[in-house]
Amino acid sequence: MTATASTSPADLTEEMQAQSVAYAVLSRVFAREPDADLVTDVAEAQRSEGWPVAASTTPVRTGLALLGGDLADWDAAQLPALRRDYLQLFVGPGHIPAAPWESVYRSKDHLIFEAETHAVRAFYRRHGLKAPNNDREPDDHLALELAFMLHLCTGAAHALQAHEEARARELLEAQREFLNAHLLRWAPACLERVITHARTGFYRGFGHLALGTLAHAARELELAPPSTG
């Protein structure tokens, strides 16, 4: 099913709700170093529900297998290793192998707070949003861009349920535009670095799940598939 004029409102609502769940989990996972509540929630959801979109695709199957391996016998004693993995991938100190900011991948000098950051900020503003710490944390952080997609998908689902077809079309077009102009232009390269450099199946798994989710969203909105460059 693709998000076209021939898609029924009920099916499209279900699709937007499923994508909302995926983006909510991904944005939470990539936002900050993990705590016990996050890992417990992921483990329970993985056992009972799997992944809400693209369940039969290779990236999602691979991601779930990696998560299952790490979480099959989850114990809080494993948490420090997950925290170390998050910090070495996304924070530092020293070299950051999977820098989570769009401008690092797309700007001429590969720095943060470049033109791409401000373009993302303007996109959020158009939809009445502001990054929570945009004076200290660049707006184009991977977790924030995924959270923005969550906002657009949730809004589209609510509009469809309220029979506000024009509003739903507007939010679908915003998803298409934001993916095409931003997330699909850099996040796949970042996620491939996560997969390559992560030391735990947890983060390698979520790298695959995020790639599968973005590829699915691109298909649904009839965009070119993401490229890792």
Are 152 and 170 within 8 A, CB to CB?
Answer: no
Contact 81, 74 (CB under 8 A): no
The domain tally of the chain equals 1
The verdict on residue 4 lying in a domain is no
| pLDDT score at 202 | 96
pLDDT in tens, 180-215: 999 999 999 999 999 999 999 999 999 999 999 999
Q: Is residue 138 part of a domain?
A: yes
Span 78-83, average pLDDT: 94
Average pLDDT, the chain: 91
> For residue 53, what is the domain's CATH number?
1.10.3480.10
**pLDDT band at residue 1, thresholds of 50, 70 and 90?**
very low
pLDDT at 76 over 90: no
DSSP state of 42: H
**Better-predicted residue by pLDDT, 48 or 30:** 30
Domain span holding position 63:
9-220
Asked if the structure places residue 226 within a domain, the reply is no
- Spatial contact of 137 and 91, defined as CB atoms under 8 Å apart: no
What predicted TM-score, i.e. pTM, was given to this entire model? 0.93
Q: Flag whether 228 is in a domain.
A: no
**Is 227 contained in some domain?**
no
Q: H or E segment at 85?
A: helix 79-90
Residue 37 belongs to some domain of the structure: yes
Residue 27 to residues 30, 90, 146, 151: CA-CA distances in angstroms? 5, 14, 5, 11
Give how far the C-alpha of residue 1 lies from the chain's centroid of Cα atoms, to the nearest Å.
21
